[in-house]
Structure 1
């Protein structure tokens, strides 16, 4: 008999007897008609920063891509395996999303590793180190600042990395062309786990500001 960890089974029982019952018609409609989310979110795989929870989204509302430190690599059609680029391609070309949100968060372990050049790789492959090298220039610049505390450097790089990812999004022709035509919009956001605050990047200045949510 197949088994899952009991806490997962308990969660599933709660879902199938509660939320699914209440939304079964919507689930069946999604199964029949397919998904049509208007927004893609590039988020970190950190278990504390789930976009569906933060934005109180229901099934079919968000197309979510999660990876270490919510990074988007530059466009590189080199024949290698590119899971982030593949998800982006599907969201833009097939689902035709209207918004792409890069959402970082406080206390990000990936960002912390990029700032800590003394830590040893977690494995011989050093997959995290290679991945985080995408923002190595920014990490080096932030690390060099002696006027900031460790926490300030961490927050600074978390937010700078969001700008990096948005810049890399624009290296994908399918994104830059549609953005130029006004058919897709790029956004940045940063979530503070400890306070629940969401900070949104101002498109003109690049500053992160708390939106007026009433």
Structure 2
């Protein structure tokens, strides 16, 4: 089963993933955690280009296509082989990030970006996506507390980030069967418990259907 975790920067999705892996492994599942952009050596190199300060101001389509190119390598070299070996694959970000960030916030259009992704990804769509929904004030507070340096997307203005959130809200409405929403404003333990519950139930249902 292919599961993706989505959300604004600061939503806590990355923090929540490791305990989920431990939970699923304790239930007997093989689990692979991965991330985007990245997850494979070529994809990680593309990640460096995307997030580098020198890439500030790159054309929105250049940015979107770099993400999609990184994703194609990630799918072919990591995700699909792991799924074929019976792993539950959990990716920190996937196609919905590009739809929200570049499609909506950069103004390329969600439908247009999705059309290109569907062609390039050749049907590799997540079975389940969990969206960590967080209010903007809390997201900014968490980002500002990070000890590490902010990348260029962390430093985007509030208008851009509000458009990203609006993009995610549109995706939730468009794909309610695939995308499940978690209130990321709650405490980390409660967020993790809700996430585990959704994933375990989805896997059990998926096993019956397959």
Q: TM-score, normalised by structure 1?
A: 0.34
The structure that is helix-richer by fraction is 2
Larger radius of gyration: 1
State the structure with bigger RCO (CA 8 A, min sep 6), 1 or 2: 2
Q: TM-score, normalised by structure 2?
A: 0.35
